Amino acid sequence: MRRHRLLLAAAGLVLSAAPATVQAQQQPPVAAVKPYKPVMVSPPAEMKDADLDALRDKIGEAVKKRDRAALAPLTVAQGFFWDRDKSDAGKGKPGLDVLAAALGLTSKDAVGWDILGAFADDPSAAPSQSRKNAACAPADPRYDAKAFESLLKETQTDVSEWGYPMSAGIEVHATAQASAPVVGKLGLTFIRVMPKESAGNPAYVRVLMPNGKAGFVTVDSLAPFGNDQLCYVKQNGVWKIGGYIGAGEPQ
């Protein structure tokens, strides 16, 4: 079974790899925090489709080799949509070129390939609300929208400051180390993420639990809220990469 990984594109949750001493000098004072009301959330369900799984496997192989040519037959040649800023930035352009531009596949650091690999590794997908016959991933989690809106107002926060655990029982450590004491465990609720108050370990992120206690969890144990999405469409009964929803990566 594929494991849902935190997308590298979700910049709000990925920490800098700067030395701990440097980060410590740059850290602002830890703000006063209060407990907040838990809002239940259910991680996206897997989309059971063997043909789509096969496409994702092929994308994964292309990612390993950084093989743009291998992506060509896996991507629609025409009609690729890139929903960005309420407009279709890919209209009339070759599908592979739009995909490469959206993800930054030509960048020297190859981060775009890692992002594509994370999309392919995600087992969820849901029908697009804006594009007919398209399934987009990662799918949104299931939650009470009104309760979440109230949580944002009560905490005076933005959606970018929240994530949710991919499973219940994730251990929260006192410091950003696996060997550190466990100070709590996460339930399936929205969790406030506080990346600016890190301990310098890029594998961990600081979180605030509903009871008001803070600690650290591994970055890949949380999913950000409001990811960009990679979309798949069927052409003549065959799944292909057909679109992208989001701002894309800096070129």
Q: In Å, how far are 14, 123, 185, 189 from 221, measured between CA atoms?
A: 12, 15, 12, 13
* Neighbour order of strands in the sheet with 134-137: 87-88, 81-84, 238-245, 229-235, 134-137, 126-127
Nearest to 223 by CA among 122, 149, 150: 122
The pLDDT tens digits for 49-61 are 999 999 999 999 9
The fold of 28-44+141-224 is: SH3 type barrels. (2.30.30)
Per-residue pLDDT, 211: 96
Per-residue pLDDT, 87: 73
Per-residue pLDDT, 229: 93
For CA atoms 199, 202, 204, 209, the dihedral sign is positive
CA quadruple 174, 176, 181, 186: dihedral, nearest 10 = 70
CB contact at 8 A, 215 and 207: yes
Per-residue pLDDT, 197: 63
Nearest to 143 by CA among 230, 47, 218, 38: 38
Per-residue pLDDT, 143: 94
Mention every residue, 6+ apart, whose C-beta is less than 8 A from residue 210: 35, 36, 37, 38, 189, 191
Per-residue pLDDT, 86: 66
Mention every residue, 6+ apart, whose C-beta is less than 8 A from residue 246: 9, 83, 84, 102, 227, 228, 229
Per-residue pLDDT, 119: 93
Q: Which residues pair with 243 in a beta bridge?
A: 81, 231
CATH hierarchy code of domain 50-140+227-245: 3.10.450
The segments of the chain whose pLDDT lies below 50 read: 1-31
Domain locations along the chain: 28-44+141-224, 50-140+227-245
CB contact at 8 A, 33 and 212: yes
Mention every residue, 6+ apart, whose C-beta is less than 8 A from residue 149: none
Q: Which residues pair with 240 in a beta bridge?
A: 233
The Cα 108–Cα 11 span in angstroms is 18
For 132, counting Cβ atoms within 10 Å of its Cβ (0-12 exposed, 13-18 middle, 19+ buried), the class is: exposed
